Amino acid sequence: MNKIKPHYANLIIGFGKGGKTLAAYLANHGQEVALIERSEMMYGGSCINVACIPTKSLITSAEEKIPYQQAYKIKNDLTSFLRKQELEKLTTLSLATVITGNTSFISPNKVRVKLNPNMEEVDIQADRIYINTGTQPFIPPISGIDSSKKVFTSASIMGKSVLLKHVVIIGSGFVGLEFADMYAKFGAEVTVLDSEMSFLPNEDPDIAEEIFKVMTSKGTRIFTGVAIESIADTNKDTVTIEYKNKINAPQKLEASAILIATGRRPVTEDLNLSTAGVQTNSRGYIQVDEFLKTSVPHIWAIGDVNGGPQFTYISLDDFRIIRDQLFGGEYNSVKKRKLFATSVFITPQMSHIGLREKEAVAKGFSVKVARLSPGSVPKARILNNTDGLLKTIVDSNTNKILGCTLFCNDANEMINTIQTAMNAGLDYQQVRDAIYTHPSMTEAFNSLYSSI
């Protein structure tokens, strides 16, 4: 690696998707850049090490009926390969320097880095600074949670090389549902406890009901309206969780482990942001304007830490916005960002873009709604999975697609077609009458939009 210098034109704190892509781009375009990451085990960012990639690897192995311990090795081999690959992408660039250590601001233009592993301190000054430190799991204030050795986060639970017999998951957001479905497919007993009074309250009721039906049919137990009272390790193998149900009746549950999936919080506490004059909101996220600039003009915040949508592809899009500011492009503001889809990698996948039916109605749209069972799609029968529901919302006055939710095999790929159509402003008939390969899940759009 290149020798650390006291001054750089560009300094990036955090090895996440947006930061590492920006670092490579700057170095390839003649600008010197240093990228600081606090742990060598996080080279490449959270996605490839403890989030998107390893979880999807385990999910795929579970679907393929690969035993857990073998799946665990496959996951570790993959993340190790990707971590090395991402590091080499930068260390082979003459203008890029990767530094491992903990960073804190000592002025708006200068940071102090405690180098790992020897904790030697170096001060680095930079003309432009980009904060890309991401988020980490939020741990709610539950009695006994800090002292328990059986409580895990989405990152730490993937370090378990042996399949847990009974996992209790607190929270039924994207992360909670993915882990619930994955562990159930590996053969574990799974219980989901959620504080919301109804399951997936942000989704349309028909979609939420279908997901609930499919997940519970596999043996996953889901309880809503739960208030967690306490957590206590029973013995070396089990943990007890006490809670109250919807009718406020005390309940007790014993499990092998508890996974906390109650949201995330920004990784900013050690940065000493106040010294730099960087402002945060009430939840600790760095406040940025439409150009992703902080309250300090030469400091930007990229990815999850800026409080925007917490997806790797949004962090990548943040890079594009900053790139065009620095190099004179037109895509220089979040206001220019178009619609984007989201996916939950349960089986089958659930993907969504745009407005849900209830949201469209609340906004005053006159809508046409179409639904389709995957069972009518030949490819779904070939794949031997006809679970789910496809649903789309169309503006009755303009024939534009307002939203689409796909709960079916390959939904995470199919939704990209709808995203392209919506961002191009196409009428639904153009999706309806398109020629799709056969047999494919995408040709379901011929039938779905024919029923409008």
**Residues classed as catalytic:** 438
Contacts for 236 with CB less than 8 Å, ≥ 6 apart: none
Output the six-digit token pair for 416: 């990209």
Residue matched to tokens 């290149």: 2
Phi, psi at 227, each rounded to 5°: -115, 110
What is 21-74 written as a DSSP string?
A: HHHHHHHHTT--EEEEES-GGGTT-HHHHTSHHHHHHHHHHHHTT--HHHHHHH
Output the six-digit token pair for 313: 């592809």
Helix (H, G, I), strand (E, B) or coil at 234: coil
Contacts for 46 with CB less than 8 Å, ≥ 6 apart: 16, 134, 135, 155
CA distances from 78 to 53, 63, 75, 82, 308 (A): 8, 17, 5, 6, 28
Question: Do 109 and 280 meet the contact criterion of CB atoms below 8 Å apart?
Answer: no
CA torsion sign for 258, 264, 267, 268 is negative
Phi, psi at 271, each rounded to 5°: -80, -15
